[in-house]
């Protein structure tokens, strides 16, 4: 079965040459998302915890569009922050969204993210 593009209005859309997600069999690769509200396409207001919540909402929307159960199906996330001083607050917001078996994770500090946001994440989910 060929890979399938996943597209939803419930996550931020882009004119750039990438898909919101790509499903290859039971594996879903979710593109990187910053704290963008899909309804307004503006960055969300608020602190890094509110921004982290929006990022995770965006990832969950792509997983659900692909037929999954949102964050419950995520097995790996990479977190990109522009300031590791935000790590603890990101970690608290992130941890509140996952149950007993959180996904594997990497967190790295980067010099800059698109739109000059402070946090971005991409994900891999297992569907089925």
Tell me the backbone φ, ψ of residue 58, rounded to 5 degrees: -65, -45
How do 27-33 and 119-126 pair as beta strands?
Answer: antiparallel
Closest CA to 51 of 29, 66, 36, 70: 36
Closest CA to 12 of 38, 34, 35: 38
Is residue 123 among the annotated active site residues? no
Query: 21: which strand partners?
Result: 6, 30
Which among 44, 107, 113, 124 is annotated as catalytic?
Answer: 107
| Helix, strand, coil share of the chain (percent; to 5) | 30, 30, 40
Residues labelled as active-site residues: 107
């Amino acid at each position: 079965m060929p890979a399938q593009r996943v597209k939803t209005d419930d996550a931020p859309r882009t004119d750039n040459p990438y898909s919101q997600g790509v499903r290859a069999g039971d594996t879903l690769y979710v593109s990187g998302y910053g704290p963008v509200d899909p309804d307004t396409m503006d960055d969300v207001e608020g602190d890094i915890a509110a921004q982290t919540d929006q990022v995770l909402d965006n990832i969950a929307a792509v997983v659900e569009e692909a037929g999954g159960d949102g964050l419950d199906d995520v097995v790996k996330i990479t977190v990109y922050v522009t300031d590791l001083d935000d790590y603890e607050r990101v970690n608290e917001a992130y941890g509140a969204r996952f149950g007993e078996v959180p996904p594997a994770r990497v967190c790295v500090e980067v010099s800059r993210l698109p739109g000059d946001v402070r946090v971005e994440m991409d994900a891999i989910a297992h569907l089925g």
